[in-house]
A and B are shown apart, each in its own frame.
Chain A
């Protein structure tokens, strides 16, 4: 019987970097992505010529593409990828690059998610996001993802009994985490439950602190072989397991589950661990309801049990429960770069490089991604379990 997916033996993740997030920027997406590359080279000690693979994810790179950047940055690559699966792109880019390393198609792949932000570019992105959206969502006045997610959130509340306070536990604990991460755009502001509940309404059950703030920034990491990482003398991480699904459960009338539950058991068994062994979890938090779907789909609680789980589980980085979105997540750090934030944060936690928001003795990390609301739901689900290399 074929084991799917095949193991990721021999692959090393190194050099997690972040180009600081800002609310708006005059710089192009290329500037953010290229600055991430420069930071990785500095961190790893590699010369630019050693990078022979590039994987790029961005909503704001057009009219340029990944190959434009190869020229722009003066690279010559033998492997090139543009991963466009929204908030699942970080995990998916990592998987693709790992295979290139295992097959010997490349020696060092730079995986980068980066975006710029000006007030016009966000309107442009949501106004022309997909054909289905243009024809069936946008003409209803539902520009942007808030409207579809307000419907998912409402249905989830009606079905499971989850309340606004339950979603608030996610947003409030993430803000606490962000208060300990200098790079979080909202990290200088505290948020308590009353502040969460009193925030202005945006769409149905969604209020201000249920929504992410689009911004500019970039995150990235290098994927190479264990041999290469050891030769460089840098600390590295291994991928114990990783998987993805697209358009899972398409017949469900409303998205109350994602593709994670189709592969979560296999992720744990391939890694030889169970949910209780995970020291920190980074989910894709475009909206708190989607975080709950990830808690459920990844086996931290039963389907529909997300609300009870957050009532019973401390989610802060230092609370001794399940440290979750330990730098504040997109809800408090900002949204840029398509799901690379969680991968890079997982790497920092495992490397002991998370500074003031370090989870004590984090040795096993899980990161999940979610993305692409083509019509009424996110189509892409991905997740990985990472561990410090030995």
Chain B
């Protein structure tokens, strides 16, 4: 029985864990050009400035695709397979990969992305919002 998800993180990834608040979305934002960054990094992807502040950003986004993963090389995930992984285009800019909380049809689905804790480790999750409006 494995105890938790793999905790392999860079120093920047560890900071994401430190700034994460359950139910919120806290990402790096450039103090010069305001570009929101993800995955975590040390230099702004737009202007290469190095002053990136952890900020609460808007959680809304468009679901791009999701898939049900059947197999993982990691025992922790293998034990809880299958699970749903989604790619989301956030309104604030970046594309994030996140765990999808519920299955939904494809196409034009709005989601809300926030931090959550999975067995003591911080990950992103995406919750479908407007499914009742869709066929």
Contacts and interface: CB of A to CB of B under 8 A. Distances in A.
A142 B69 contact: yes
B77 A154 contact: no
A11 B86 CA distance: 47
Q: Is the interface of A mostly helix, strand, loop or mixed?
A: helix
Contact of A143 (B10, B40, B74, B107): B74
Contacts of A131: 10, 12-13, 39, 41
Select the residue from B16, B62, B65, B73 with max chain A CB neighbours within 10 A: B65
Contacts, number: 126
Among A131, A136, A139, A200: residue with most chain B CB under 10 A: A139
Contact of A135 (B12, B73, B83, B98): B12
A146 interface: yes
Contacts of A134: 8-10, 13
Contact of A140 (B12, B95, B123): B123
Contact of A203 (B69, B95, B122): B69
B99 A135 contact: no
Contact of A204 (B9, B62, B67, B96): B67
Interface residues of B, number: 43
Interface string B109-127: 0000000000001111000
Given A122-B73, A148-B97, A202-B70, 18 more contacts: A123-B73, A127-B6, A127-B73, A131-B41, A136-B38, A139-B122, A140-B97, A140-B99, A141-B72, A142-B72, A146-B69, A154-B66, A155-B64, A202-B71, A204-B69, A206-B67, A376-B87, A376-B95
| 6 closest residue pairs by CB, A with B | A204-B67, A135-B13, A141-B77, A136-B39, A150-B67, A155-B65
Interface of A: 122-123, 126-128, 131-132, 134-144, 146-148, 150-155, 158, 200-206, 253-254, 375-376
Interface of B: 5-10, 12-13, 16, 38-41, 62, 64-74, 76-77, 83, 85-87, 89, 95-99, 106-107, 121-124
